[in-house]
A and B are shown apart, each in its own frame.
Chain A
């Protein structure tokens, strides 16, 4: 495993390039198929509203998959991720229009650990609201 980033080149507070990820109903249908999670709250507006949601919401695991891309694009090798955890604090609501929703992800080095590892702290928001809490990854740098 070979991360592109060197442990010696980062400090606590080093920011990773932020990214934004669009999500539409079509994205969710595709993710449902790929992941095997066909819960109708992710594609059926009538069902979502009946169970008390404002509209169709993105899979939490979809949001989690997008957020880590800020880290894997930075390290180059996704195999450098040795730990990754999130708390699902708020759903990403995906309206049935031409735009859908956008997940914005920022990340910075939160701590330098032993053995060339660093902890990256992630912030994922949609419509200005935080959608993931306690979102952290540990990565093995070069």
Chain B
């Protein structure tokens, strides 16, 4: 059954702050095999004008995707997550995520479409730091494939 269009525009409460750890950034950079010292060496990061080590561009997804669980698991929305695949992902950055950031995510449903029985859901996650400044916006498109016989 198609998702309820009245959920478009619905916004969920901001998450509790996620504190970005230096070692978590290192672990992520190593996991993707990226030896750029700006991820691990404070002096290298400062040489490029950053106040501390920064995170790779896609690091923040771990935080925004966890936050989007508010939407995915909203019983009123009724998304069948077992049929969901990740369609698109986009980030627009005001600045890179860096060690010591305490980030909150405000998720909202931007669009809901139904195409050939598939439900397509665009979730927008606005990421702000402790000072309330915008850091990055993440758009996550989820596609819930049509159930057989539906």
Known: A60-B86, A68-B57, A68-B58. A35 touches B91 (CB 8 A): no
Which B residues are closer than 8 A to A by beta carbons?
24, 27-28, 30-34, 36, 38-39, 48-50, 54, 56-58, 61-62, 65-66, 85-93, 95-96, 139
**Contact assessment for B85 and A84 in the assembled complex, using a CB-CB cutoff below 8 Å:** no
> Quick check: which of A5-13, A72-80, A93-101 contacts chain B, the rest being far away?
A72-80
CB closest residue in chain A, given B34: A69
B62 A78 Cβ-Cβ under 8 A: no
A residues less than 8 Å from B54 (CB atoms)? 78-79
Residues of A within 8 A of B31 (CB): 27, 30-31, 33-35
Which A residues lie within 8 Å of B90 (CB)?
A: 83-86
Residues of A bordering B, CB below 8 Å = 1-2, 21, 27, 30-31, 33-37, 60-62, 64-66, 68-69, 72-73, 76-79, 81-88, 134
Q: Evaluate contact between B49 and A1: CB separation under 8 angstroms.
A: yes
Contact B65 A78 (CB under 8 A): no
Distance, CA A37 to CA B66, complexed state (A) = 9
CA distance A1 to B49 in the complex (A): 5
Select one of A1, A21, A60 contacting B89, CB under 8 A. Answer: A60
Q: Are A78 and B56 in contact (CB under 8 A)?
A: yes
Query: Nearest Cβ in chain A — how far from B120, in angstroms?
Result: 12
Residue from the list A33, A72, A83, A87 in contact with B87, Cβ < 8 A: A87
